[in-house]
Amino acid sequence: MSGSRHQVLKLLSWNVNGLKSENKIKGVLAEIKDSHVVFLQETHIGPDDTGVLHELEGFRKYFTRYNGRSRGVAILIRETLVWEDVSHNEDTEGRSLILTCKLHGQLYTFVNVYNPREDIQLLDELELEHDLGVLVIGGDFNTALNPELDRTNTQYYALCKCVQRLRDRFELKDIWREIHPEKREYTYAQGASESRLDYFFMQKNSVSLVQCCEIRQTAISDHDPICLHLNSGGVYPLAPEIDPNDRIKSHVESIINQSKKDVSYDSKGWVSVHAAESLHTAAESLHTAAESLHTAAESLRTAAESLRTAEGSPSTAAESPCMEGGSLHTAAGNLCTAAGSLHMAAGSLCTAAGGLHTAAGSLCMEGGSLHTAAGSLRTAAGSLRMEGGSLHTAAGSLRTAAGSLESAHGSLCMEGRSLHMSAQSLHTATGGLCTAAGSLQKVCRLTAEISTLIGKLGITEESDN
């Protein structure tokens, strides 16, 4: 898309919370592509990081160099606009930047502010020229001006008084609140608390230039950007080729990356593997126990047949009891071995059941994370509806994706419940096996008693002879 836009100057202010990663820079560039003037706060740009801003192509860049891991502000102005008499004044502590310039003969003064909560002198020390032209002050002021409307936590910060003194000194209006006098919308969230901390201020004699002022939703930073459109007499060309889907891609990539952080796929995978290995071991133990039981059963059947033969052949009765006593002892040994195998199998089943419980818990945790991701997608879809046209279609696609994630969440929870039921069944089976092992031990004792009786019977018959 290429062309020009008449009589609208588009400004955007955004606390980006750092510009050190390549993905963050790509996301920021996609968000600001349709803007002519951009205020960035918390760039975290130090003396050795100035090359980072060069990746924000299409803009002339003015920024503070603060040697620290926080703070830092920048003002970007579109290269395709004809700017004249540009000058800037930066704060050495990375808190503010003042840029004056002319555009189509109109003087503008742009003031970008990042006001840390602990710094209550910055706004009082802010010095501006007398001839300001159209004054636009924007940035992150770290305070809620109206504790009833601009915060969900109604604690009132002392920094608000400093902002109010600045407003009184230059007769400034809170532009977003002027347009939305009763609306509750926020630019920053921390836990359950949300606040509107980011503002555009203009002098009351310039408010008539305002066309609109809106808060955009994004997942790229912990702050949402605020945009301001001003009516003007100029003709402002857009960026050479602006892909309307870039912002969608940026939203989706950010949500997916956050979801990857929230869901530990590796943990679930390893739990499933270990559970499967435990089940395999338990199955092998059960197979061994079954073979031992089969051998013991064969021995018992052989002994029983020998006893029946002895009863039918009195001539061999004297020898058969002792022989069959030995067979029964052997069978008893086999039964004891089988009982031991069953005990081992029961232990393996208990281990497998524990693994299944862990896997079920992991699946439920992943299901919860997917549900959270689905909520984030729905939020992103709501913000994208504001873009209109193709963006509205994309929002529908995101809602569909959210529905799919919710379905996946339901399936995972069902799978988790099934695994839980399987674990319970395995526990029940383990109990049954333990009971069977106990019964086998009783059989062992009974067999031993039978052997003793047979031995006694043999001694008696020898006496009679």
pLDDT computed for residue 354 by the predictor: 56
Annotated catalytic residue within 66, 150, 188, 223: 223
Stretch among 35-49, 188-202, 236-250, 275-289 having the lowest mean pLDDT: 236-250
Binned at pLDDT 50, 70 and 90, residue 358 comes out as: low
Known binding residue 223? Answer is yes
Annotated catalytic residue within 34, 140, 174, 198: 140
Mean pLDDT (whole number) for 24-44:
94
pLDDT digits (tens, 9 = 90+) for 37-56: 999 999 988 777 767 778 88
| Distance separating alpha carbons of residues 402 and 410, to the nearest angstrom | 12
Known binding residue 17? Answer is no
Binned at pLDDT 50, 70 and 90, residue 273 comes out as: very low
Binned at pLDDT 50, 70 and 90, residue 60 comes out as: very high
pLDDT computed for residue 320 by the predictor: 47
Q: Are 115 and 122 in contact (CB under 8 A)?
A: yes
pLDDT digits (tens, 9 = 90+) for 398-415: 667 666 666 666 666 677
pLDDT computed for residue 405 by the predictor: 67
Domain layout of the chain by residue ranges: 4-239, 265-464
Give 55's DSSP letter.
Answer: G
Q: What is the CATH number of domain 4-239?
A: 3.60.10.10
Q: Does residue 272 have a pLDDT over 60?
A: no
Q: State yes or no: is 114 an active-site residue.
A: yes
E strands, 175-248, are 188-190, 193-195, 198-203, 210-215, 226-237
pLDDT digits (tens, 9 = 90+) for 103-140: 999 999 999 999 987 777 888 888 888 789 999 999 99
| Distance separating alpha carbons of residues 457 and 342, to the nearest angstrom | 34
Mean pLDDT (whole number) for 377-397:
54
Report CA dihedral (10, 16, 21, 27) to the nearest 10 degrees: -40
pLDDT digits (tens, 9 = 90+) for 430-460: 787 878 878 888 888 888 888 888 888 875 5
pLDDT computed for residue 344 by the predictor: 61
Of 231 and 120, more confident? 231
Of 462 and 178, more confident? 178
Q: Which tokens belong to 35? A: 């803007």
pLDDT computed for residue 261 by the predictor: 44
Known binding residue 465? Answer is no
Annotated catalytic residue within 62, 66, 108, 114: 114
| Distance separating alpha carbons of residues 191 and 152, to the nearest angstrom | 11
Known binding residue 115? Answer is no
> Taking the CB of residue 403, how many other CB atoms lie within 10 A of it?
13
pLDDT computed for residue 222 by the predictor: 94
Report CA dihedral (420, 425, 429, 430) to the nearest 10 degrees: 20
Q: Does residue 281 have a pLDDT over 80?
A: no
Of 234 and 178, more confident? 178
Known binding residue 142? Answer is yes
